[in-house]
Amino acid sequence: MNEETPKNRRLTEEGVREDLQRQPHLMMKLAENALTVAESLRDNYFKNTAKFVTALRKAIDAGDQGQRDEPLLSVHKIKDAEWATVQNEVVTFIDGGIGQVQIASQVPILLRVGSYCVRTGERRLTEREKFGYYPVILGDLEGGSKERKDFTDIVRITAELLGGLSALERTPDLHILMFHGPLVYLMGNYAGHTPFTERDIDLFLGQYAPDPDLGRQLKEDFLQKAKLDIYPEMTDRS
């Protein structure tokens, strides 16, 4: 009879459940996530999560034992790496979020996109790190279907893309631009929203365009494309 070792136990569902239960912050997150799925899935949400983690652990372990053609995760050593090779490399990270205020209930009122720019190897702090903060008051927007739950997502995605554009324009020597979020947004899920108005476009560009001339050019290019391509498709007319 094989004696169960701690390593073997962590590859079982029971071991995974015990590990999760010993970490209250993970249990809280699982409980929150369970409320976002269909009601029919909630009862088994914790059990299914444990099954997934178990399968993941087994796959990683099989890779470590050489039992998989391609390991799920692998660790590589970077030889002869020196900071000098990335000296003065500029990296910017973009992330957006929703601000909330609790009056009678939690109501989103503010969206902000932040940018964090770093120049590697720079010793002067004022030159090494730069922060950008771009707020949008949701109530100032005229367009969009505000009654829909994904309204704030539409605004955030738009603002994050404009924040990235702003970073590219403001930092000519930018080497890496990173966004927080999925690699690909399934935009079909957001179909049916009321279009943003021209005033909304001005509001967005006023916050994110590096200079007024670029903002006006972006707006003119968009309106031209909308007139030729977007609006005809929305109305089934060519």
* Tens-digit pLDDT profile for residues 163-198: 898 888 888 999 999 998 877 777 777 788 888 888
The predicted structure's pLDDT at residue 105:
44
The predicted structure's pLDDT at residue 99:
64
Q: Tokens standing for 29?
A: 């997150």
Q: Tokens standing for 207?
A: 């916050």
The answer to whether residues 116 and 16 belong to one domain is no
Residue 94 domain-assigned (yes or no): yes
Residue 69 domain-assigned (yes or no): no
The answer to whether residues 169 and 218 belong to one domain is yes
The answer to whether residues 47 and 142 belong to one domain is no
DSSP state letter for 107: E
What's the domain range around 56? 7-64
Q: 201 and 222 in contact (C-beta within 8 Å)? A: yes
The answer to whether residues 181 and 106 belong to one domain is yes
The answer to whether residues 159 and 224 belong to one domain is yes
Enclosing H/E stretch for 5: none
Residue 81 domain-assigned (yes or no): no
The answer to whether residues 101 and 13 belong to one domain is no
Mean pLDDT of the chain: 83
Q: Count Cβ neighbours within 10 Å for each residue of 68-95 and write b for 16 or more, e otherwise.
A: eeeeeeeeeeeeeeeeeeeeeebbbebb
Residue 75 domain-assigned (yes or no): no
Residue 101 domain-assigned (yes or no): yes
E strand map for the chain: 90-102, 106-119, 129-137, 174-179
The answer to whether residues 52 and 144 belong to one domain is no
51 CB-near residues (< 8 Å, 6+ apart): 13
Residue 70 domain-assigned (yes or no): no
Residue 79 domain-assigned (yes or no): no
- Number of neighbours of residue 144 by Cβ within 10 angstroms: 20
The answer to whether residues 54 and 124 belong to one domain is no
The label of the residue with tokens 């916050």 reads: 207
Closest CA to 178 of 90, 112, 99: 90
The answer to whether residues 124 and 200 belong to one domain is yes
The answer to whether residues 40 and 132 belong to one domain is no
Residues of the chain with pLDDT under 70: 1-4, 99-108, 236-238
Residue 207 domain-assigned (yes or no): yes
The answer to whether residues 109 and 191 belong to one domain is yes
The answer to whether residues 151 and 42 belong to one domain is no
Total domain count for the chain? 2
Q: What is the pTM of this model?
A: 0.62
Q: Tokens standing for 84?
A: 């000098």
The predicted structure's pLDDT at residue 51:
92
